[in-house]
Amino acid sequence: MESLFESLFYKTEANTLFSAEAYLEAMLRFEAALAQAEAEQGMIPVAAAQAITEACAAPNLDMVNLKLQIGLAGNPNIPLVKQLTAAVKKIDPEAAKFVHLGATSQDVMDTAMVLQLKAAVLLMQKDLKQLLAQLRHLAEEHRHSIMVGRSFMQHARPITFGFKVVTWLDGLIRSAERLEYNLQHNLVLQFGGAVGTLAGFGEKSEAIAQSLAEKLDVTLPHISWHTQRDRLVELASTLGILSGNLGKIAKDISLLMQTEIGEVFEPAGAGKGGSSTMPHKRNPVGCVAILAAAQRMPALVAALLQAMPQDHERATGLWHAEWLPLVELCKVSAGALQQALVLTNGLEVDTERMRQNLELTRGLIFAENISLALADKVGKATAHEWIEALCQTVSATHTHLKIIVLADSRIQALLSKTEIEQLFDPANALGECDRLIDGVLATF
C-alpha cells in the first residue's frame, strides 16, 4: 500500500535506500569487509576472504526462502549467513568455514542500518540545503512585503512576509546543524561480537575493528553499543524536529491560503489541489502531506525512546522494536522535505491582498503605536485606558481608529496630525524586521 502514496508522502530515492534488497546488500558489505579485515590480520586465509568477497558481490539470494526463515531465526542475518555460506562453499569449500567469523548478528544489522542511515542523511542534507536557498531567496524578495502579524489567530501588528519566512528559515538552519552533528558523531560502526567484548577476535580485535570501520567509511566508537541506543534516538529526534519545522511552514501557508485570507498560495499546476466535487477549490495538498508527516513523527520517535531501556548485553524485543520505526522516520522525513521543496519553489504571494487585509480591523492593529506614543506624555496606564476605550468605539461604530483618534481633543493636544498619520503607517510599525532578517541570513 505504501507505493500507492509514494508521490504524496515519500521520496522515491529514499524509499529505494531502505528497500529489502538495499538492506541485505549493506549487510553483505559488512560481511565482505569483515573477511578482508580478518585476512589482513592473518585471522583467516587471504583466499577465504577473496571467496567471501566474491560471494557477497553476487550472492544470488533465494529471497522467498530467506523471508520465511526470518520468522524462525528472529532476524534477517541468520538466514542470510546460511545462504552466503552456501554460496562461498561453491566457490571455495574451505573458505565457507570463515564466513561471519567472530561477529554477531547485531553487529551486521546495526552497521547495515548505519550505512543506510548515512546515505539517507546525505540525501536529506542535499534537499535541505536547496530548501534553505529557496527560503533565503523568498525572504529577500519579500523583505518589504508588509502583512499583518497574527497572535492567537487574530490580527496583532504588522510584519513583513520576509520576516515570517526567516522565522521558518531560522528553525531549519538548526535542523541542518543537527543533521550534520548526527552524521559526524552518531552513525558509527557496531562491532563487539557476542556480548560486546570482541572476545572472538583475540589480540587482533582492535586492528580488525579499525580496518573494518575504514572499509565501510564509518567512525569506530570506543565500545560497542548493542544496548546503548542513544545515538539512534538522537537521530530520530532530529528527524522529528526537522519534520516539525517543516510542519510549521505548511501550517502557516495552509492558513494563509484560506479563502478569507488569500495572501499566499502553493505553486499552481495541472491537476494540483483540485476537489472531486467542487471545481472552484484549490486545496493545499503539499501542506497536507507535510502536516501528515509532522503528525506521524512524534509516535515514531517515541517508539525509539521507549525502546531505550534494553536488557543486559543483548536486548529482548526492544532492539527489534526499533527496526521499522527508524526506517519509517527516515522515509517520512525525506518525503516531507521533498514536498517542502516543491511548496516553496514558486510560492505565490499576493502582496496586494496582504495590504488589503491590514485594514480589516479598521486601524486597531496600530492601537499599540498610539498608546506607546501617548505613554511618554500621560503615562502608560492612562494611555492604555484612553486607547482601549477608543478601540471599543471602533468596534461599536465600525469607524476607522485613525478617524476617532484625530477627532479626540485630548490626543490632538499631545500629538500633531502628522505624527498621528505616521503612527498609522504600516512601514513605521515593523520594529526591527529588517535587522532581524539580516541576522538570520548572516548565519548561513
Question: What grid cell was written down for 389?
Answer: 476605550
Active site residue 275: yes
* Strand extents, DSSP E, 161-295: 264-265
The DSSP 8-state label assigned to residue 189 in this structure reads -
Question: What grid cell was written down for 235?
Answer: 537521530
Q: How far is CA 44 from CA 99, 105, 192, 409, 428, in A?
A: 10, 19, 18, 98, 77
Q: Give the residue among 147, 140, 189 at the shortest CA–CA distance from 169.
A: 140
Q: Give the residue among 439, 444, 401 at the shortest CA–CA distance from 143.
A: 439
Candidates 136, 174, 314, 355; catalytic one: 314
Helix (H, G, I), strand (E, B) or coil at 219: strand
Angle in degrees, CA 146, 148, 149, rounded to 5: 115
Residues 187 and 219 sit within 8 Å (Cβ to Cβ): yes
Rounded CA gap, 61 and 24, in Å?
10
Candidates 7, 19, 275, 395; catalytic one: 275
Residues 260 and 341 sit within 8 Å (Cβ to Cβ): no
Residues 363 and 400 sit within 8 Å (Cβ to Cβ): yes
Active site residue 276: no
Q: Phi, psi (5° rounding) for residue 151?
A: -125, 125
Please give the helix or strand (H or E) that residue 151 lies within, else none.
strand 146-151
Q: Count the Cβ atoms, other than its own, within 10 Å of residue 227.
A: 17
Rounded CA gap, 196 and 173, in Å?
37
Rg (CA), the chain: 30
Q: Which residues are catalytic?
A: 275, 314
